[in-house]
A and B are shown apart, each in its own frame.
Chain A
Amino acid sequence: MECGSPAPAFRNLRHTHMTSAITNPLALIAELTHRCPLHCVYCSNPLELAARATELSTEDWSRVFQEAAALGVLQADFTGGEPLTRPDILDLVRAARSAGLYVNLITSGLPLDESRLESLIEAGLDHFQLSFQGAREETAQEISGTKAHSQKLRVLEWLKRHRIAVTLNFVIHRRNIAQLPEMLALAESSNASRVEFANVQYYGWAFANRDALLPTREQLTESIDFLRRAQERLAGKIKIEYVVPDYYAKYPKPCMGGWGRKLMLITPSGAALPCHAARVIPGLSFENVKNRSLREIWEVSDAFQKFRGEAWMQEPCKTCDRRALDFGGCRCQAFLLAADANATDPVCSLAPQRPKVDAILTAINETNSIGAGLVYPGGAPPADEPLTKPALLYRPNPA
């Protein structure tokens, strides 16, 4: 999960689709760079990061936005890495807006001052998503390997003075889940109209650090109850989204809204992927926007065709009533947990490989019986487990 973005898998752009095999993409996830001042232990970037020298130019991106809009894309999500490390970020916002796209920025807020924020809004930025690693500096620092929290609080103050949509993205895991009430209080003191509490999804760096991050069942249950009450109390004021870790789910998430159905991700160096993690699947090759049009990549490239529709499915997916709801779940997770990208997502309670997920959960819940213990603002600090810092694998910066 990048920078506190909601799990892209849970994107829910409401749209009436034709029932034919190929629908048009609705959102373009533009990973503008892998450079980032943060080093989050759950980063969705691949373990092998794109070097600065390989990044697409302003002109390349501008053409991509035009092609995306022509293909039916409505929204561009500027993400990274940290998109604000691109010196041409204002040009990129203008280019996407003039192509007719809705421009969404997902940022740590670090390389930002108030005048740059104003410039972004003037350039046509539609939606500002500010990521948080916790409600407290020390937690945020442990997770991101950077001192960043106080800057985010400054950004929140600047945002109050401007007319722009604001979403706060909190990435949730075992080490900060107890701070949910403090995080919510922070959101209520801001001018955010949306707040997303998205549990880490276990790919890439997060997969490597899973045992240090996965919450216990008790924590999860308490967090769901807490946020359900908050949703009722804040209805019409702040929209609260909660994404739970799918290891605890009964059925898998409809990953990316279905493979090659709604979303397209472009990496910093121009590879077009059906999702963040697709590169983990062996045997897939990805076209580059420098060599092929977006339409060609979307409609006929092998990578986008590979798991589109239902032909690839095995039992129990193949005849399951839910196959049009969740599309068999996540292909990358099937590969990561079952070593077979064609398998039913192992988090599904109907999957033959579900016992593997249960074993992971059992181990987490037996060794972390620290209680859920939500901590409320002003209350005693959370009963943290001892620091396991040496066990965490921080993502570095690319060359």
Chain B
Amino acid sequence: MSIDLESHPRLAPGCRMNEKAQQPRTLLMPERALRLNGPSLEIVERCDGKHTVHQIVTELQQLYSKADPAKVEQDILGYLALLQKERALDFEP
């Protein structure tokens, strides 16, 4: 299950964020709900089928410019893999 950097992650059917007015921001999924904050929210908000994985990495490296870029990339790929395992993401070409 390696992740293609040029693919476009998109929330799978049945997975959506709660409304912006609702706090805390939560990823709703079949039989599960994940509270998101900080980097996890920044990542999931970009899983819109428009950003490539590579673009998400670049944007978050800029957003968290004090962090080690390699570590940021590694964390993002790890998080995307976790969401994929939960069947929360589809990776579109």
A residues whose Cβ falls under 8 Å from a Cβ of B = 6, 11-16, 26, 74-75, 100, 102, 104, 126-127, 129, 163-167, 193-194, 235-239
List, in ascending order, chain A residues with CB within 8 A of B14's CB.
Answer: 126-127, 164-166, 193
Q: Are A193 and B87 in contact (CB under 8 A)?
A: yes
- Contacts A26-B33, A193-B12 known; 11 new A-B pairs at CB < 8 A: A14-B32, A15-B33, A15-B35, A102-B16, A164-B14, A165-B13, A193-B13, A193-B87, A194-B30, A236-B85, A237-B87
List, in ascending order, chain B residues with CB within 8 A of A239's CB.
Answer: 85-87
Using A100-B19, A193-B87 as known contacts, say yes or no to A164 and B13 having CB atoms under 8 A apart.
Answer: yes
Residue of A nearest to B84 (CB): A236
What is the CA–CA distance of A129 and B29 in the complex, to the nearest angstrom?
13
Residue of A nearest to B88 (CB): A193
Most buried by A among B15, B16, B31, B33: B31
Kindly provide the distance from the CB of B55 to the nearest chain A CB, expressed in whole angstroms.
22
Kindly provide the distance from the CB of A327 to the nearest chain B CB, expressed in whole angstroms.
20
B1 at the interface (CB under 8 A from A): yes
Using A6-B31, A16-B35, A74-B28 as known contacts, say yes or no to A100 and B12 having CB atoms under 8 A apart.
Answer: no
B residues whose Cβ falls under 8 Å from a Cβ of A = 1, 12-16, 18-19, 22, 26, 28-35, 84-87
14 A-B pairs with C-beta separation under 8 A:
A11-B31, A13-B32, A74-B18, A74-B33, A75-B28, A75-B33, A163-B13, A165-B29, A167-B30, A193-B30, A236-B1, A236-B84, A236-B87, A239-B87
Residue of A nearest to B35 (CB): A16
Q: Give the interface SS of chain B, mostly helix, strand, loop or mixed.
A: loop
List, in ascending order, chain B residues with CB within 8 A of A164's CB.
Answer: 13-14
Kindly provide the distance from the CB of A68 to the nearest chain B CB, expressed in whole angstroms.
13
Using A74-B18, A236-B85 as known contacts, say yes or no to A13 and B12 having CB atoms under 8 A apart.
Answer: no
Q: Are A74 and B87 in contact (CB under 8 A)?
A: no
Residue of B nearest to A26 (CB): B33
List, in ascending order, chain A residues with CB within 8 A of B29's CB.
Answer: 165
What is the CA–CA distance of A129 and B19 in the complex, to the nearest angstrom?
23
Residue of A nearest to B90 (CB): A193
Kindly provide the distance from the CB of B56 to the nearest chain A CB, expressed in whole angstroms.
19
What is the CA–CA distance of A14 and B34 in the complex, to the nearest angstrom?
6
What is the CA–CA distance of A194 and B31 in the complex, to the nearest angstrom?
10
Q: Are B28 and A126 in contact (CB under 8 A)?
A: yes
Q: Are B31 and A235 in contact (CB under 8 A)?
A: no
List, in ascending order, chain A residues with CB within 8 A of B13's CB.
Answer: 163-166, 193
Taking a contact as CB atoms closer than 8 A, the residue among B16, B26, B87 that contacts A194 in the complex is: B87
Kindly provide the distance from the CB of A337 to the nearest chain B CB, expressed in whole angstroms.
28
What is the CA–CA distance of A110 and B26 in the complex, to the nearest angstrom?
33
List, in ascending order, chain A residues with CB within 8 A of B19's CB.
Answer: 100
What is the CA–CA distance of A26 and B26 in the complex, to the nearest angstrom?
12
Kindly provide the distance from the CB of A16 to the nearest chain B CB, expressed in whole angstroms.
6
What is the CA–CA distance of A126 and B32 in the complex, to the nearest angstrom?
12
Q: Are B22 and A104 in contact (CB under 8 A)?
A: no
What is the CA–CA distance of A16 and B33 in the complex, to the nearest angstrom?
10
Most buried by A among B1, B19, B28, B84: B28
- Shortest 5 CB-CB distances between A and B: which pairs? A165-B14, A102-B28, A193-B87, A127-B14, A165-B13
Q: Are B85 and A165 in contact (CB under 8 A)?
A: no
List, in ascending order, chain B residues with CB within 8 A of A74's CB.
Answer: 18, 26, 28, 33
